[in-house]
Amino acid sequence: MINAKRCFQVVKIWYYIFMKKIDVDSIATSLSDFAKEREWDQFHSAKNLAMALNVEASELLEIFQWMTEKESDLICSDEKKKKQVEQEMADIFLYLVRMADKLDINLEAVALEKIKLNAEKYPVEKSKGNSKKYNEL
Ligand SMILES: [Mg+2]
């Protein structure tokens, strides 16, 4: 049965999808409710979520296994393959949001902070056009 709170969350999520914005808090709440309803919270330790995240990342990687780089870049021209990629990316994102919620980590804030740190580690004048790691620049 869908209660008013859940209905509001669903509408809010679709609004953000339609507006092409992400509301991480709403997604985290939906995932938390999903787990609580199924009594799965007990299984969502940081370790288990990190493992599940890695498994989903491997499922994404498996789709690209043995493809050439060009084939991988064109994967979304195949609707079936594109759907597989979308599903695995969603799995990764959902586990990441769930893990951040359980560990009380502000995913948006740390992501923005990491972009800033990466810009410092990879200054344009040293890293433009090459793929060397920051400690090799
Ligand atoms: Mg999956």
CA 91 to ligand 1 center in whole angstroms: 5
Instruction: Give burial (CB, 10 Å; 0-12/13-18/19+) of 133.
Output: exposed
Q: What does the alpha-carbon distance between residue 74 and residue 67 come to, in Å, rounded to a whole number?
A: 10
Which pLDDT belongs to residue 21? 77
CA 132 to ligand 1 center in whole angstroms: 31
Which pLDDT belongs to residue 129? 93
Residues 11-37 have a mean pLDDT of: 85
**Boundaries of every domain in the chain:** 1-41, 44-126
Confidence of residue 116 (pLDDT cuts 50, 70, 90): very high
Residues 12-31 have a mean pLDDT of: 82
CA 1 to ligand 1 center in whole angstroms: 27
How does DSSP assign 16-31, residue by residue? HHHTT---HHHHHHHH
50-90 confidence digits (pLDDT tens): 999 999 999 999 999 999 999 999 999 999 999 999 999 99
CA 137 to ligand 1 center in whole angstroms: 36
CA 71 to ligand 1 center in whole angstroms: 21
CA 95 to ligand 1 center in whole angstroms: 10
**CATH code for 44-126?**
1.10.287.1080
Q: What is the pTM of this model?
A: 0.84
Residues 86-103 have a mean pLDDT of: 97
Tokens 């920051």 — which residue? 134
CA 87 to ligand 1 center in whole angstroms: 6
Residues 91-114 have a mean pLDDT of: 96
